[in-house]
Structure 1
Amino acid sequence: MPSDRLGVLLVSGAHDRAHYAFVLASGAAALGRQVVVFATNAGCHALCRDWSGLTDAGRDALIQSRGVAGLETLREACLDMDVRFIACEAGLRAEAIEPDALLAGVEVAGIATFLNEVGGGQIVSL
């Protein structure tokens, strides 16, 4: 029987992809699935307290004005539903992001930790 775990691999630093990573993660968590979001390279900006480093970050205000949940709302929903957030140690270095810039509760680890957490579950890459 396949695992109900979902791994979301966020490589892109584009707002639309980061936003949808959190849509996917919060939706799966709301359905009772165990979810881990692993951000690397430019995707690490999505796990920062200040995510303005995402490409087209201003898009968030536009989608909110159209009645779509913004990135902050989705990230908070994920945290409330115990979605595990991992920032790639090498990705942080590649983007010159200090670990203290991350949201509280974000772990810093490598790909092996992510793959171990997902196990036999699904992995979606954005």
Structure 2
Amino acid sequence: MPPSETPAAPSISGLAIVLFAGGFDRVHYALVMASAAAATNRPVTLFFTGRALRALLQPEEPGTLGWHALDPADDGSAPAERDRFFAANGVATFEELLEACVLMGVTVMACEMGLRALGLPAGVALRADVPVTGGGVVTFLNEAPKGASTLFV
């Protein structure tokens, strides 16, 4: 390349993550990926569907967040137990990652078809501290960052 030409700056593409699996470790790591991408100024969309939707449910009892009802972690431990292990070992907790995603403007979507497939009633209460957009696959595909890499978890 001639010295007078400078290379074009690489374009920063976004990240779109479809969270389908309901295992705690999978949903937790999707939040790791989303928060890391957002921290590097990439637009991010998280599309919760299937059993992963439980992570967005409003607590039924005080102190029992919806993600406590996710499927067990890969090591067989309950989600809350695994989260405590992470905290004790310097790994970001579920709530820390979710809060980081919210603070950094990650778009969080809940699949309306997925809610029905779980047998949840229309208008089921989702977490008030997480701005959630409802919609389906078409909405997700239209609103995900253009040119984004898409991961299916």
TM-score (norm 1): 0.91
Distance 2:12 2:114 in 1: 27
Aligned to 1:85: 108
**The structure with more radius of gyration:** 2
Q: 1:106 aligns with which of 107, 110, 132?
A: 132
Whether 2:107 is the aligned partner of 1:97: answer no
Please say if residues 12 and 42 of structure 2, whose CA atoms lie closer than 8 Å, have aligned partners that are also in contact: no
Distance 2:70 2:125 in 1: 14
4+ aligned runs moved over 4 Å, structure 1 = none
Aligned to 1:16: 25
Q: Deviations over 1:42-90 (max 9, x none)?
A: 0111222422110121311111111111100000000000100001001
RMSD: 1.7
Length, aligned pairs only: 126
Greater RCO (CA < 8 Å, at least 6 residues apart): 1
Classify the secondary structure of the residue corresponding to 1:101.
coil
Structure 2, gaps ≥5 residues long = 1-9, 59-65, 73-78
Distance 1:95 1:28 in 2: 29
Whether 2:89 is the aligned partner of 1:62: answer no
Distance 1:97 1:73 in 2: 27
Over the matched positions of the two proteins, sequence identity in percent amounts to 41
Distance 2:39 2:86 in 1: 22
Q: Deviations over 1:70-124 (max 9, x none)?
A: 1000000000001000010011111133544312311110011111122321101
Distance 1:90 1:9 in 2: 14
Please say if residues 13 and 42 of structure 1, whose CA atoms lie closer than 8 Å, have aligned partners that are also in contact: yes
